[in-house]
Amino acid sequence: MKFVKMHGCGNDYIYVDGSVEKIAQEDKPALAKRLSDRHFGVGGDGVIFINPSGEADFEMEMYNADGSRAEMCGNGIRCVAKYVYDRGLTSKKKISIISAGQVKELKLAIQDKKVVFVKVNMGSPEFMPEPEVMEAPEIVNMMKLPAEQITAGAKQMIDEPIFLFGNEYRMTCVSMGNPHAVLFVEDLKELAIEKLGSAIENHTLFPKRTNVEFVKVVDRSTIEMRVWERGTGETLACGTGACAAAAACMVNNLTDEQVTAKLAGGDLEIFWDKEQNRMFMTGSATFVFEGEIAV
């Protein structure tokens, strides 16, 4: 099977042209897990199949490093855009890509006939844990929130307390088509991200688990963050996570509507158009190498 390794701000995935490589659907989770292994496979944060689509220009079919399906990836979708343009699968500078039923519109910035930046309409942020949140008494037990403030499956979660390992953190939950829990911290360097990230990812508040962003607000236009991705662990960047973090900052009046999100793998520009209620993310996408592996 032929593949290409790409990354967006260090968030690296293995990309496979699904129109050429015919892999049985039931085999994809195990294959994604094997290929993502950084010691015995190709190595990456997951695997993305680029497929034909009748609903958009292309489909992005995404798997995390543990083989689980993912709904959306902002860095991944930018790489898909670069792949299809640079490889001659499209000549359009405005394309649509569908992932798990969500269609995103992308604008491609071209230089020397190659994509250098991609601007993605990431849609509207929703301040919810996720649609299938557990019953209210369970949330009260785990988070010590007043029961009357919680409606199962409908409660917005903005600047709510969550208690972990004897400490209280303030959490804002944001869906960007996939779930995110954003926590504000003062010190990112000394953060016990494996301990905290894993605990929140697998918290009973999130039946399907969640991505976690730890954010330090630098000023009204700049944030720094570290990312714990569901099914993968800490990654160098996360596009939807950067959007979720920016949205959480804005709704808590910590930043303005345009911010630079500084991640370990690079910077992303995030803008929340309040009139359209749409978040726009702009960033790079990079080829690393291509190869062929026995499947």
- Is 249 marked active-site? no
Residue 258, judged by CB atoms within 10 A of its CB (0-12, 13-18, 19+), counts as middle
Tokens linked to 25: 């659907």
- Cα distance between residue 5 and residue 207, in whole Å: 31
The answer to whether the beta carbons of residues 240 and 78 sit under 8 Å apart is no
- Is 238 marked active-site? yes
Tokens linked to 71: 């709904």
Q: Which residue type occupies 206? A: F
Q: List the catalytic residue out of 9, 173, 238, 249.
A: 238
Q: List the catalytic residue out of 9, 73, 79, 173.
A: 73
Beta strands 233-235 and 278-283, pairing class: unpaired
- Cα distance between residue 122 and residue 134, in whole Å: 27
Catalytic residues: 73, 238
